[in-house]
């Protein structure tokens, strides 16, 4: 069960020819896949392509109607290998994952796929998570396309162009027997726009047809001598075929050809930013009618030599707008110009930033520099500094970073609270972190975690850090990472190499960081997937002897004791501590409607939330340093004698209980209370309250009277 329901979006997948589709870019891709007659789709979730997977998961009926096989792959490698179905059969298939992490994981399968080539159209949709907001290493998928000779599309970021790129991608793949990568930048994935839909198509050749009539062709298998021929084939046959298709179908676009003797070459994905910048500088209108010739590379790889020569012919200079580094395209264009003996000057990373996102502001600076250099723009006069009447304190000091953190009531937070408590007893340990929500433990207030080497690689990241009679390293791994590869690369590897470290597996029932999708160990019953496979069984199955499962992570003391034991036990071999509790986002989504229903039906419902007494809180904030929950905040001190703000629990509290547990385990102040709000109380509830209320009320009134005597 994903974080969001896509029932509304799924309806859009049924739109027919001529109807208008309105929605997100990545959903437009989903619709385009159906319109292209795709036979199978697979992928691994992750921003920004999670919605593609989630929509398809909610659209099982449509997929069934069209005979489409849909897989939630175990990893990106699995997804890429799935495209093997298009090697021998004329089956159109698409896989998706986030880049570049997914491309890294998938590279073995991608390389093999690219070597032998494909018969049916094979499309790899990569969501390029690059720049602002990205939580992964900043690299380019482009390098993978180049090294394996997979063609790469980078369409202009509007829905009609993206949809066209999907369809052309399949055709290009079939025309050149080569897999094609469709690169979508994160903003393009999430862009809301519209396009005119076509009818969905059933695949002419089905998966059933393939299974019933197996084909084999040894020349498509990566074994010598075929593998040597593949290399030749790539450059002799497939590349020229691709170039022919790209040229004849006009995949790349020329605008304002011949209007000037300077020009700009731009990747499709950066087109909108460039046009906006030109418009602001007075060189284009809002519709993209430019006064500067533009060559838009909707195909990022391969670069089409003839088109580059045609664009540069007779031009004094061109500017290459290519985001990311190294500047593969610029180098390629330079070599084309050099070999053709053209005198055109080439600019790029000399005027635009070498590294980093090409934001509108950066692009504006670079394009302005280019236009000034060739006399199309006068240099801007230096801005006159207006002396400020009231000098203000610099703003930067008061605008602080807001790193992402654990959600309200997150079951992972108490694990790290417990680790902080153990740290107080045993001193700091080396912590090898992993990818997933639990990685937020590296940020304040926990500040735990020394390295992170990739998804599911937490345990592997501490492999070398093993020495008898020293402190043990602690590795953290999520359930998502565990099933992705951590079971083998981490746990099994630790068993085989007689590792002595501790691995904490955070089992919250979903791959929560990517949007709460189900995995093998999910507890939900999923009608189309097999769930409830215990992590503990898998761990024992590969030979771990010391395994503990904590079924309630909110039990901070229990977590602390289990951690202490794992770090101090004399038992040899890897220790695995499985920390289970359901992801709170998903739990709330699951339970809220049930609670509302129960309340409406008059059933007794107890809601819990925490609170802090303002008159006993002294504003030290120890509780926040051990917790960091968004619902645990501060507010001005109501006490006229005090100045430090006090801690407060805001109404978004879900009553997970961590505040109380931490207050107990760390012996904090007595300010915390848990309020239990009983809706639709029973007769017994009311009777008990009446009895206790009579006594309590009497005593309270008496004391209040006594205090009133001294009130002034």
Partner 1 sequence: MSRVQPIKIAILAMGGEGGGVLADWIVDLAEFNGFMGQSTSVPGVAQRTGATIYYVELYPKAQAEADGGTPVLALMPLPGDVDVVIASELMEAGRAVARGLVTPDRTTLIASTHRVYSIVEKTAMGDGRVDPSNLLAHAQAAAKRFVHFDMEKAADEAGSVISAVLFGALAGTGVLPFSRAQFEATIERGGVGVKTSLKAFGAAFDRANVPVELKQVDEPFSMPAPADPKLKALVDRIARDFPAQAHPVLVEGVRRLVDFQDPAYAGLYLDRLQKVRDLPAGGDPQLLFETARHLALWMSYEDTIRVAELKTRSSRFERVEAEVRLKPDQLLAINEFMHPRLQEIAETLPAGLGNWLLRSGWPRRLVERFTREGRVVRTSSLGGFMTLYLLSGMKRWRRSTLRYAAENRRIEEWLAHIAAAASLNPQLATEVAQCQRLVKGYSETHERGLRNYETLMAAVREGGARLAPATVRELRDAALSDERGDKLRIALGRHALTPQLREAA
- % helix / strand / coil in the chain, to the nearest 5? 40, 15, 40
Which alpha helices (H) appear in 446-572, and where do they start and end? 479-481, 493-496, 535-541, 556-568
String of DSSP letters for 28-86: HHHHHHHHTT-SEEEE---TTTHHHHHHHHHTHHHHHHTT-EEEE-SSHHHHHHHTTHH
C-alpha span between 22 and 9 (Å, rounded):
9
Provide the token pair at 57.
Answer: 């998961």
Q: How far is the CB of 515 from partner 1 (least distance, A)?
A: 9
Residue 448 Cβ, how far from partner 1 at the closest point, in Å?
14
Q: Is 697 in the site for partner 1 (CB under 8 A)?
A: yes
Binding range to partner 1, per CB under 8 A, among 36-44, 124-132, 242-250, 569-577 = 124-132
Distance of alpha carbon 165 from alpha carbon 170, whole angstroms: 9
- Distance between CA atoms of 693 and 560, rounded to whole angstroms? 39
Asked if 333 touches partner 1 (CB under 8 A), the answer is no
Say whether residue 137 binds partner 1 (CB under 8 A): no
Does 48 bind partner 1 (CB under 8 A)? Our answer is: yes
Q: Does 196 bind partner 1 (CB under 8 A)?
A: no
Closest by CA to 627, choosing from 447, 445, 448, 436, is 445
How are beta strands 192-196 and 502-507 bridged, if at all?
unpaired
188 binds partner 1 (CB under 8 A): yes
CA distance readout (Å), 133 to 144, 187, 439, 506, 684: 23, 11, 15, 24, 53
* Interface region with partner 1, contact rule CB under 8 A, candidates 172-180, 369-377, 531-539, 703-711: 703-711
Residue 125 binding partner 1, by CB under 8 A: no
Count of residues that interact with partner 1, criterion CB under 8 A: 119
Q: Which residues contact 546 (CB under 8 A, 6 or more apart)?
A: 566, 569, 571, 573, 574, 575, 576
190 near partner 1, rule: CB under 8 A:
yes
585-592 long-range Cβ contacts below 8 angstroms, 24+ apart? 585/3, 585/407, 585/512, 585/516, 586/1, 586/3, 586/509, 586/510, 586/512, 586/516, 588/409, 588/654, 589/1, 589/3, 590/1
Q: Say whether residue 365 binds partner 1 (CB under 8 A).
A: no
- The residue within the footprint of partner 1, chosen from 19, 61, 217, 620 (CB under 8 A), is 620
From candidates 375, 651, 684, 706, binder to partner 1 by CB under 8 A: 651
Is residue 634 involved in binding partner 1 (CB under 8 A)? yes
Whose tokens are 């394009």? That residue is 367
Tell me: does residue 437 bind partner 1 (CB under 8 A). Answer: yes
Q: Kindly tell me which residue out of 43, 409, 414, 628 binds partner 1, with binding defined by CB under 8 A.
A: 628
Pairing of strands 180-185, 192-196: unpaired
With CA atoms as reference, report the closest residue to 340 among 301, 303, 310: 310
Q: Is residue 64 within the footprint of partner 1 (CB under 8 A)?
A: no
Nearest distance in Å: CB 379, partner 1: 18
Minimum distance of partner 1 from residue 703's CB (angstroms): 7
> 218, 223, 384, 390: which one contacts partner 1 (CB under 8 A)?
390
- In the complex with partner 1, the residue whose CB is nearer, 224 or 638, is 638
On the 0-12 / 13-18 / 19+ scale of CB atoms within 10 A, 374 is middle
Residue 187 sits in the site that holds partner 1 (CB under 8 A): yes
Q: Which is nearer to partner 1, 134 or 227 (CB)?
A: 134
- Of 9, 35, 128, 129, the one binding partner 1 (CB under 8 A) is 129
Residue whose C-alpha is closest to residue 154's, from 137, 142, 171, 170: 142
Asked if 398 touches partner 1 (CB under 8 A), the answer is yes
Min dist CB 192 to partner 1, Å, is 5
Helices (H), 483-534: 493-496
x/- mask, partner 1, residues 497-526, rule CB under 8 A, reads ----------------x-------------
- Rounded Cα–Cα distance for residues 414 and 626 (Å): 9
Of residues 655 through 694, those in contact with partner 1 by CB under 8 A are: 659-660, 663-670, 672-681, 685-686, 689, 691-692
Which of residues 319, 486, 609, 656 is near partner 1 by CB under 8 A?
Answer: 609
343 is a contact residue toward partner 1 (CB under 8 A): no
Tokens of 44: 């691994």
Candidate residues 310, 335, 613, 687; the one interacting with partner 1 per rule CB under 8 A: 613
CA atoms within 13 A on the CB side of 678: 9
The answer to the question of residue 624 lying near partner 1 (CB under 8 A) is: yes
622 binds partner 1 (CB under 8 A): yes
CB nearer partner 1, residue 235 or residue 360: 360
Which one among 263, 405, 480, 516 touches partner 1, defined by CB under 8 A?
405
Q: Does 402 bind partner 1 (CB under 8 A)?
A: yes
Rule CB under 8 A: say whether 192 interacts with partner 1. Answer: yes
Closer Cβ to partner 1, 314 or 693, answer by number: 693
Residue choice 93, 117, 155, 157 for contact with partner 1 (CB under 8 A): 157
Nearest approach, Cβ of residue 86 and partner 1 (Å): 31
- Under the binding rule (CB under 8 A), the answer on residue 369 touching partner 1 is no
- With residue 675 as reference, give the H or E element that holds it: strand 672-679
Q: Which is nearer to partner 1, 146 or 443 (CB)?
A: 443
Cα distance between residue 55 and residue 513, in whole Å: 17
Among 67, 208, 240, 444, binds partner 1 (CB under 8 A): 444
706 binds partner 1 (CB under 8 A): no
Residue 356 found at the interface with partner 1 (CB under 8 A): no
Q: Name which of residues 262 to 321 contact partner 1 (CB under 8 A).
A: 271-273, 275-277, 279-280, 285-289
Round to whole Å and give the CA distance between 613 and 671.
5
Q: Is 5 in the site for partner 1 (CB under 8 A)?
A: no
Cβ contact 76:105 at 8 Å: yes
Helix (H) or strand (E) holding 372: helix 360-373
**By the rule CB under 8 A, 348 interacts with partner 1:** no
Picking from 336, 319, 326, 323, the residue whose alpha carbon sits closest to that of residue 265 is: 319
Q: Which stretch binds partner 1 (CB under 8 A): 78-86, 471-479, 525-533, 636-644?
A: 636-644
Rounded to 10 deg, the angle between the 360-373 and 271-280 helix axes is 60
- Closer residue to partner 1, CB minimum distance, 89 or 672: 672
Helices (H), 427-505: 479-481, 493-496
Tell me how far, at minimum, the Cβ of 144 lies from partner 1, in Å: 21
Specify the residue, 18 or 640, whose C-beta has the smaller distance to partner 1.
640
Residue 19 interacting with partner 1 (CB under 8 A): no
> What is the Cα 400 distance to its own chain's centre?
24
């Amino acid at each position: 069960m994903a974080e969001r329901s896509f029932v509304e979006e799924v309806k859009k997948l049924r739109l027919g020819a001529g109807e208008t589709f309105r929605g997100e870019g990545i959903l437009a891709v989903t619709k385009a896949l159906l319109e292209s007659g795709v036979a199978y789709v697979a992928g691994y979730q992750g921003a920004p392509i999670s919605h593609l997977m989630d929509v398809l998961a909610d659209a099982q009926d449509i997929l069934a109607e069209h005979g489409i096989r849909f897989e939630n792959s175990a990893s990106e490698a699995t997804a890429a290998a799935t495209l093997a179905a298009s090697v021998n059969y004329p089956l159109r298939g698409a896989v998706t994952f986030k880049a570049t992490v997914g491309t890294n994981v998938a590279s073995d399968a991608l390389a093999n796929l690219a070597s032998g080539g494909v018969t049916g159209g094979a499309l790899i949709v990569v969501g390029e998570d690059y720049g602002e907001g990205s939580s992964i290493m900043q690299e380019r998928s482009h390098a993978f396309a180049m090294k394996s000779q997979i063609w790469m599309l980078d369409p202009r970021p509007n829905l009609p162009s993206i949809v066209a790129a999907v369809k052309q991608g399949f055709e290009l793949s079939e025309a050149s027997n080569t897999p094609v990568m469709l690169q979508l930048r994160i903003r393009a994935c999430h862009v809301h726009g519209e396009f005119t839909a076509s009818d969905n198509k059933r695949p002419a050749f089905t998966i059933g047809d393939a299974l019933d009539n197996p084909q084999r062709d040894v020349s498509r298998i990566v074994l010598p001598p075929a593998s040597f021929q593949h290399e030749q084939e790539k450059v002799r046959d497939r590349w020229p075929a691709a170039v022919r298709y790209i040229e004849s179908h006009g995949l790349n676009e020329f605008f304002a050809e011949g209007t000037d003797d300077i020009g700009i070459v731009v990747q499709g994905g950066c087109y909108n930013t460039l046009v906006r910048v030109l418009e602001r500088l007075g060189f284009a209108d809002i519709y993209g009618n430019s006064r500067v010739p533009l060559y838009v590379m909707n195909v990022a790889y391969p670069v089409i030599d003839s088109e580059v020569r045609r664009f540069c012919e007779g031009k004094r200079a061109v500017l290459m707008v290519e985001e990311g580094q190294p500047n593969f395209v610029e180098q390629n264009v330079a070599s084309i110009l050099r070999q053709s003996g053209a005198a055109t000057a080439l600019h790029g990373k000399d005027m635009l930033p070498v590294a980093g996102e090409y934001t509108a502001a950066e692009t504006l600076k670079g394009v302005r520099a280019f236009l000034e250099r060739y006399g199309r723009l006068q240099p801007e006069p230096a801005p006159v500094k207006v002396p400020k009447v009231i000098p203000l304190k610099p703003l930067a000091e008061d605008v602080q970073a807001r790193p992402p953190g654990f959600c309200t009531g997150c079951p992972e937070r108490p694990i790290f609270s417990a680790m902080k408590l153990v740290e107080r007893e045993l001193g700091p340990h080396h912590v090898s972190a992993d990818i997933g929500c639990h990685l937020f433990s590296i940020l304040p207030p926990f500040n735990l975690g020394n390295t992170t080497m990739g998804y599911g690689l937490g345990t592997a990241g501490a492999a070398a850090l093993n020495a008898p009679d020293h402190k043990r390293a602690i590795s953290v791994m999520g359930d998502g990472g565990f099933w992705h590869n951590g079971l083998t690369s981490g746990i099994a590897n630790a068993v085989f190499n007689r590792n002595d470290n501790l691995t904490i597996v955070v089992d919250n029932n979903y791959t929560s960081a990517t949007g709460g999708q189900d995995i093998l160990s999910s507890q939900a019953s999923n009608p189309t997937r097999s769930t409830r496979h215990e992590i503990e069984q898998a761990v024992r199955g590969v030979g771990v002897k010391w395994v503990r499962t904590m079924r309630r992570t909110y039990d901070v003391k229990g977590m602390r004791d289990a951690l202490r034991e794992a770090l101090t036990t004399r038992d040899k071999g890897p220790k695995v501590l499985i920390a289970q509790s359901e992801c709170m986002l998903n739990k709330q989504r699951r339970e809220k409607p049930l609670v509302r229903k129960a309340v409406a039906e008059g059933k007794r419902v107890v809601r819990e939330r925490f609170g802090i007494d303002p008159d006993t809180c002294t504003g030290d904030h120890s509780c926040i340093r051990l917790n960091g929950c968004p619902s645990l905040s501060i507010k001005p001190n109501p006490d006229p004698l005090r100045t430090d703000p006090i801690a407060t629990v805001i109404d978004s509290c879900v009553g997970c209980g961590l505040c109380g547990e931490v207050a107990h385990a760390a012996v904090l102040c007595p300010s915390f209370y848990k309020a239990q709000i009983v809706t639709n109380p029973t007769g017994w509830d009311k009777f008990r309250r009446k009895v206790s209320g009579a006594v309590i009320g009497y005593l309270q009134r008496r004391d209040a009277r006594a205090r009133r005597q001294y009130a002034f």
